[in-house]
C-alpha cells in the first residue's frame, strides 16, 4: 500500500516554517519546498534591522493597523497574538524585550540564532526540506510540479498544501511573485502586487543628486492628507526613503497611482513653531548668504538647505520676509512622481484576495490548498506588524490544514 502523501509547504520563509512547525507538532509528515538554497533568507534580512517581531500595543490597536484587512485577520491574530509570538521566540532560546517605541525585539537583536534553533527544532519534528525547488503549478492529476536542482520536473502528490510564497519584494531572497500567474490560471482571485513600505521617486536635479545622495534628513515631520509622522528621511538617487515615509506609503502610493503624483509636506524644523523660527530668521543678514542665515539662525543642515533650494527654487531666494521663509521651512512641498521599485520595497500589498479564502485561509477554488503570510492581500506599516500577521496567518492556515484532514476519512498515515 503506498504511503499517505505528506503535507507540502511551498515557501521556506517565516510563514512556511511556522506552518510546518504547527503541522509537524501534531504528528503529520511535512515537506517544505523552496526555490532558494537555504531556508529563512527573508527572516535573516529582517534581522539586519534588529528583527522587529511584533508590537506591544493593546491587541485591538494592533489589529487596527491592518486597515481594510483588519476584520479578516482579527481572529488569526487573536489566536496567535504578540504574547504567543514572544513565548514561542523564548522557547527557542531567544528572549525578547519591548523597546521605547513599543516594538518587540529579540534581546540579541539578531535573526540568525533564532533561525538556527528553529531549523533544529523542525528537524527534530521530522520536517523535510527540499531547497532549490521552484513551484510550477499542478499537473492534470492535481499533483504539484517542481523544477528541481538538476533541471528535471518532479510531480508530488500532497495530502494538503500550504502556499507561503511571499510577495514580490527582495526577489533575490526568494519571493518573486511568479505564483500570481499560476493561481490566476486556476481562477483564484489575486489582487495585483504593489510596493508597500516603500520609497518614492522625486525628479532631482543632477546637482542636488550628486551633492546629497545618501545623506539623512533629520529630524523631519512628514504630513499627507492630515496624517503626520516624525522621523527621518534618506535622500536617494531616485528620491526619498525612510521609516517616516514608509508609514505614509500606502496613502501616497494610492495617490500617485490615481493622480500621477502626490505632494508630501515636510517640516524641516519640527522642534520650533513657525513664529519662533521667523523670529530667529529676522537677524540682520548683512553680507551673509541665504544659506549661511538658514544654517546659523535657522539651525538647518546643508542637506535641508539644499532641499529647500531644490524644491522652492527662486521662491526660496525671493522669500525676503523671515515669516515667509519660516513658513516655507515648516511646510515644504515635495512632489512624489512614482513609487520606488517593488523589488526594493520592504513588503508588498495585494495577493490572494481575502474573499477567495475561507476563515481557515483555505482557497475556496482549490480545496486542500491553503495560503499564508504576505501572499495574502493585506498590508501593514513597519513596527512588527508585518511579521506578526505573517506568523499568525501561518498558524491559522496550519490549524486549518489539520482540521480539514481530520474531517477526511483515512487521511492519517
pLDDT in tens, the chain (413 residues): 345 679 999 999 999 999 999 999 999 999 999 999 999 999 999 888 889 999 999 999 999 999 999 999 999 999 999 999 999 999 999 999 999 999 999 999 999 999 999 999 999 999 999 999 999 999 999 999 999 999 899 999 999 999 999 999 999 988 999 999 999 999 999 999 999 999 999 999 999 999 999 999 999 999 999 999 999 999 999 999 999 999 999 999 999 999 999 999 999 999 899 999 999 998 887 778 888 989 999 999 999 999 999 998 765 555 558 899 999 999 999 999 999 999 999 999 999 999 999 999 999 999 999 999 999 999 999 999 999 999 999 999 999 999 999 998 765 55
pLDDT at 1: 39
Pair 312, 285 in one domain: yes
Question: Where among 339, 365, 386 does a domain terminate?
Answer: 339
pLDDT at 29: 96
| Distance from chain centroid for Cα 239 | 19
User: Residue 214 domain-assigned?
Assistant: yes
Pair 244, 104 in one domain: no
Pair 163, 75 in one domain: yes
pLDDT at 284: 81
CB-CB contact of 382 with 346 (8 Å)? yes
CB-CB contact of 363 with 370 (8 Å)? yes
CA nearest to 43, candidates 136, 174, 150, 220: 174
Q: Rounded to 5 degrees, what are φ and ψ at 239? A: 165, -115
Question: Where among 339, 368, 394 does a domain terminate?
Answer: 339
Q: Taking the C-alpha atoms of 376, 256, 208 and 298 in order, what is their torsion angle to the nearest 10 degrees?
A: -100
CA nearest to 227, candidates 258, 194, 190, 264: 264
CB-CB contact of 372 with 19 (8 Å)? yes
Pair 276, 374 in one domain: no
- 144 C-beta neighbours (distance < 10 Å), count: 21
Pair 239, 332 in one domain: yes
Q: Residues 6 or more apart from 390 whose CB is under 8 A from it?
A: 13, 14, 15, 18, 372, 373, 374
Report the distance separating Cα 325 and Cα 277, nearest Å: 9
List the beta bridge partners of residue 97.
Answer: 105
Pair 396, 306 in one domain: no
Phi-psi category of residue 309: left, alpha or beta, with phi > 0 → left and psi -120 to 50 → alpha? alpha
Structural domains counted in the chain? 2
- 203 C-beta neighbours (distance < 10 Å), count: 11
**What is the pTM assigned to this prediction?**
0.93
User: Residue 58 domain-assigned?
Assistant: yes
Pair 99, 240 in one domain: no
CB-CB contact of 166 with 13 (8 Å)? yes
User: Residue 411 domain-assigned?
Assistant: no
Report the distance separating Cα 240 and Cα 172, nearest Å: 22
pLDDT at 302: 96
Pair 207, 160 in one domain: no
Q: Which domain holds residue 258?
A: 200-339
Report the distance separating Cα 169 and Cα 348, nearest Å: 6
- 184 C-beta neighbours (distance < 10 Å), count: 11
User: Residue 1 domain-assigned?
Assistant: no
User: Residue 210 domain-assigned?
Assistant: yes
Pair 282, 142 in one domain: no
pLDDT at 218: 92
β-pairing verdict for 160-163 and 7-10: parallel
Measure the N-to-C terminal CA separation of the chain; round to a whole number of Å.
11
Cell of 276: 519662533
Pair 162, 293 in one domain: no
- 192 C-beta neighbours (distance < 10 Å), count: 12
User: Residue 395 domain-assigned?
Assistant: yes
User: Residue 413 domain-assigned?
Assistant: no
List the beta bridge partners of residue 32.
Answer: 9, 129
CB-CB contact of 380 with 390 (8 Å)? no
CATH code for the domain in which residue 54 is found: 3.50.50.60
CB-CB contact of 376 with 393 (8 Å)? yes
User: Residue 2 domain-assigned?
Assistant: no
Pair 303, 350 in one domain: no
- 132 C-beta neighbours (distance < 10 Å), count: 15
Question: Where among 286, 306, 339 does a domain terminate?
Answer: 339
Pair 361, 332 in one domain: no
pLDDT at 319: 54
Cell of 19: 506552518
Amino acid at each position: 500500500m503506498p504511503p499517505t502523501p505528506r503535507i507540502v509547504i511551498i515557501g521556506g520563509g517565516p510563514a512556511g516554517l511556522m506552518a510546518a512547525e504547527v503541522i509537524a507538532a501534531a504528528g503529520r509528515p511535512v515537506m517544505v519546498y523552496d526555490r532558494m538554497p537555504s531556508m529563512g533568507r527573508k527572516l535573516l534580512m529582517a534581522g539586519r534591522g534588529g528583527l522587529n517581531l511584533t508590537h506591544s500595543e493593546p491587541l485591538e490597536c494592533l489589529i487596527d493597523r491592518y486597515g481594510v484587512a483588519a476584520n479578516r485577520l482579527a481572529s488569526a491574530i487573536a489566536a496567535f497574538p504578540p504574547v504567543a509570538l514572544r513565548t514561542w521566540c523564548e522557547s527557542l532560546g531567544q528572549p525578547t524585550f519591548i523597546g521605547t517605541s513599543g516594538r518587540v525585539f529579540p534581546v540579541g537583536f539578531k535573526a540568525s540564532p533564532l533561525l538556527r534553533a528553529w531549523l533544529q527544532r523542525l528537524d527534530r519534528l521530522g520536517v523535510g526540506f527540499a531547497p532549490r525547488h521552484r513551484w510550477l503549478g499542478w499537473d492534470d492529476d492535481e499533483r504539484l510540479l517542481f523544477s528541481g536542482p538538476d533541471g528535471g520536473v518532479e510531480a508530488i502528490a500532497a495530502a494538503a498544501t500550504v502556499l507561503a510564497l511571499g510577495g514580490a519584494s527582495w526577489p533575490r531572497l526568494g519571493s518573486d511573485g511568479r505564483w500570481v500567474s499560476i493561481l490566476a490560471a486556476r481562477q483564484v482571485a489575486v489582487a495585483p502586487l504593489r510596493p508597500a513600505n516603500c520609497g518614492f521617486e522625486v525628479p532631482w536635479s543632477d546637482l542636488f543628486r550628486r551633492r546629497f545622495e545618501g545623506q539623512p534628513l533629520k529630524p523631519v515631520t512628514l504630513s499627507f492628507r492630515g496624517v503626520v509622522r516624525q522621523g527621518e528621511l534618506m535622500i536617494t538617487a531616485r528620491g526619498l526613503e525612510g521609516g517616516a515615509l514608509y508609514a505614509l506609503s500606502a496613502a501616497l502610493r494610492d495617490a500617485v497611482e490615481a493622480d500621477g503624483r502626490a505632494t508630501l509636506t515636510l517640516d524641516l524644523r519640527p522642534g520650533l513653531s513657525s513664529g519662533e523660527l521667523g523670529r530667529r530668521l529676522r537677524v540682520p543678514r548683512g553680507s551673509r548668504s541665504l544659506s549661511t542665515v538658514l544654517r546659523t539662525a535657522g539651525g538647518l543642515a546643508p542637506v535641508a538647505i539644499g532641499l529647500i533650494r531644490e524644491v522652492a527654487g527662486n521662491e526660496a531666494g525671493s522669500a525676503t520676509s523671515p515669516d515667509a521663509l519660516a513658513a516655507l521651512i515648516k511646510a515644504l512641498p515635495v512632489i512624489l512622481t512614482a513609487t520606488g521599485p517593488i523589488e526594493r520595497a520592504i513588503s508588498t500589498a495585494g495577493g490572494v484576495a481575502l474573499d477567495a479564502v475561507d476563515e481557515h485561509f483555505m482557497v475556496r477554488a482549490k480545496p486542500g490548498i491553503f495560503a499564508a503570510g504576505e501572499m495574502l492581500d493585506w498590508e501593514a506599516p513597519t513596527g512588527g506588524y508585518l511579521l506578526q500577521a505573517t506568523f499568525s496567518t501561518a498558524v491559522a492556515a496550519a490549524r486549518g490544514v489539520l482540521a480539514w484532514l481530520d474531517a477526511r476519512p483515512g487521511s492519517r498515515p
